[in-house]
C-alpha cells in the first residue's frame, strides 16, 4: 500500500486534500500538525487508515524521519511566504515524490531551483497545486492549446468570504499587499502595485460582475515561463463587495511599513477571519475562476475562455491537489523535476480528473 504524508494535514486545506485522496486511492495516510489534540481528532474523523503525528518544521531530523518512508509528501503548511524549501530538498534526497499547495511566487522561485536535482533523483515534484494556483493553471493550458498562437493571458478569481479556508488564507491575502511586484506585460517585465487597476469581470452565476484587482500569485511567473505570450494578467476580487473596498483601502492608505509588521498582519488576519466567519452565512464560501486567452487561430484573431464555479474554495483546493496526487500514486503521471501544474499535467488527464469529481469547466472559443 502506498504511503502518503500530508504536512499540515490538520488544517482546512490539508484536510480537504486528505478527504479527496482517501475517496479515490487505497493508501496509508499520515497527517501532521503542531497541535496534538486537534490533529488527533481530525485523523480519527478521516478514518482508521489515517495516522497523526505532531511535527514541527523547525525540527529537521524529525521532518526527515517523517518523509523517508513515504511514497508521496504533500506540503500544506502555509503561509508559504514564510517557508523555505527544506521539505522539497528532503524529498529529493530520499527519492520521495512531492506536491505542495504553495501560493506565493517567492517560494515558487526557490523551489524551481531544485529542478535539476529532482530530475537526477527521479522525483516528480509539482508546486502550486490546489485551486488557484492549481486548477486555474490547467484552465489556462486548456485555453492556450485551442489557439495556434496564444498572445495574451488574463486570469481572474473571485472568492466568497473565507472560501471555507482557515486563518492562513487571511494572512496570505494581507501579506500579498506588502510589496509591488513585476508582471509580464507587452513583452517585458513591468512593476505593478498590489490591488490596483480595477476591472469588472463577468463571472458566471451566482457572482455576475465582480471588481478584480492586481494580485501577486505564482501564475504571473509560471505562465510566462510555460507559454510564449506577450502578457499575463492575474487579478483577484472578493465578495461581499465591502471586502474588496477594505482590502483596496489597506493596500493604498495604510503605510507599507505597517503591513510589514507581523503584529499588524496577525491583527488584520484575525479580524478579517472573524468577520468573514459571520458573513459566510449569506455570502457562502465559493470560488469562481475565469481564464481568457487571446491570440490567433487558423490565421484569424480568436479568444478562448474557460470558467468554473464551485461552492467551497477549500474543497476545490482538495480537488486540485488530490487529483494530481491520485495520478502520481497510480503512476499515470511521472515527470521528474520541479514543475508548475501547467507544465506537468496534460490537459486530457486534467479533464478526466475534473470529470471524475463532477467539476464542470465551461469553455468558449470565438473569433474576434
Q: pLDDT-based confidence at 171, cuts 50/70/90?
A: low
**Is the confidence at residue 164, as pLDDT, over 60?**
no
Give the pLDDT confidence of 90-105 residue by residue, as tens digits: 999 999 999 999 999 9
Report in angstroms the alpha-carbon separations of 213 from 126, 192, 292, 315: 27, 11, 16, 24
- pLDDT (0 to 100) of residue 226: 97
Q: pLDDT-based confidence at 79, cuts 50/70/90?
A: confident
**Is the confidence at residue 37, as pLDDT, over 90?**
no
The reported pTM is 0.92
Strand order in 361-367's β-sheet? 199-202, 209-214, 231-239, 149-160, 287-297, 300-310, 361-367
Instruction: Give the integer Cα–Cα distance in Å for 275 and 294.
Output: 39
Total residue length of the chain: 368
Span 278-287, average pLDDT: 71
CATH assignment of 132-310, among 3.40.109.10, 3.30.360.10, 1.10.1040.50, 3.40.50.2300: 3.30.360.10
Span 129-156, average pLDDT: 97
Domain spans of the chain?
2-131+315-359, 132-310
Instruction: Give the integer Cα–Cα distance in Å for 12 and 165.
Output: 5
Q: pLDDT-based confidence at 276, cuts 50/70/90?
A: low
The domain 2-131+315-359: what is its CATH number? 3.40.50.720
| Mean pLDDT estimate for the chain | 91
361: cell is: 469547466
Instruction: Give the integer Cα–Cα distance in Å for 258 and 201.
Output: 31
Name the nearest CA neighbour of 151 among 307, 308, 300, 364: 300
- pLDDT (0 to 100) of residue 162: 61
Span 147-163, average pLDDT: 90
**Is the confidence at residue 282, as pLDDT, over 70?**
no
Instruction: Give the integer Cα–Cα distance in Å for 322 and 14.
Output: 10
Amino acid at each position: 500500500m502506498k504511503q502518503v504524508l500530508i504536512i499540515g494535514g490538520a488544517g482546512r486545506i490539508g484536510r480537504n486534500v486528505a478527504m479527496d485522496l482517501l475517496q479515490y486511492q487505497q493508501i496509508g495516510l499520515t497527517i501532521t500538525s503542531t497541535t496534538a489534540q486537534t490533529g488527533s481528532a481530525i485523523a480519527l474523523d478521516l478514518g482508521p487508515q489515517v495516522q497523526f503525528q505532531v511535527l514541527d518544521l523547525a525540527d529537521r531530523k524529525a521532518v526527515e524521519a517523517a518523509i523517508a518512508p513515504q511514497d508521496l509528501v504533500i506540503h500544506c503548511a502555509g503561509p508559504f511566504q514564510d517557508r523555505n524549501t527544506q521539505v522539497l530538498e528532503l524529498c529529493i534526497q530520499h527519492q520521495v515524490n512531492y506536491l505542495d499547495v504553495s501560493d506565493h511566487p517567492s517560494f515558487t522561485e526557490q523551489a524551481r531551483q531544485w529542478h535539476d536535482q529532482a530530475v537526477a533523483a527521479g522525483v516528480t515534484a509539482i508546486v502550486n497545486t490546489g485551486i488557484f494556483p492549481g486548477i486555474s493553471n490547467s484552465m489556462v493550458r486548456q485555453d492556450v492549446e485551442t489557439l495556434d498562437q496564444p498572445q495574451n493571458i488574463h486570469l481572474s478569481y473571485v472568492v466568497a468570504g473565507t472560501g471555507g479556508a482557515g486563518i492562513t488564507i487571511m494572512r496570505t491575502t494581507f501579506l500579498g499587499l506588502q510589496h509591488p511586484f513585476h508582471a509580464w506585460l507587452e513583452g517585458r517585465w513591468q512593476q505593478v502595485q498590489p490591488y490596483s487597476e480595477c476591472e469588472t469581470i463577468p463571472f458566471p452565476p451566482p457572482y455576475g460582475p465582480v471588481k478584480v484587482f492586481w494580485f501577486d500569485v505564482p501564475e504571473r511567473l509560471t505562465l510566462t515561463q510555460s507559454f510564449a505570450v506577450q502578457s499575463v494578467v492575474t487579478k483577484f476580487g472578493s465578495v461581499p463587495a465591502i471586502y474588496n473596498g477594505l482590502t483596496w483601502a489597506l493596500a493604498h492608505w495604510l503605510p507599507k511599513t505597517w503591513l510589514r509588521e507581523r503584529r499588524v498582519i496577525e491583527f488584520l488576519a484575525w479580524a478579517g477571519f472573524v468577520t468573514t466567519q459571520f458573513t459566510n452565512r449569506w455570502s457562502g464560501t465559493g470560488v469562481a475562476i475565469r481564464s481568457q486567452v487571446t491570440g490567433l487561430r487558423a490565421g484569424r484573431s480568436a479568444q478562448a475562455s474557460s470558467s468554473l464555479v464551485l461552492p467551497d474554495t477549500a474543497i476545490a483546493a482538495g480537488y486540485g491537489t488530490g487529483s494530481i496526487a491520485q495520478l502520481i500514486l497510480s503512476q499515470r503521471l511521472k515527470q521528474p523535476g520541479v514543475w508548475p501544474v501547467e507544465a506537468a499535467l496534460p490537459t486530457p488527464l486534467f479533464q478526466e480528473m475534473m470529470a471524475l469529481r463532477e467539476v464542470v469547466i465551461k469553455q468558449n472559443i470565438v473569433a474576434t
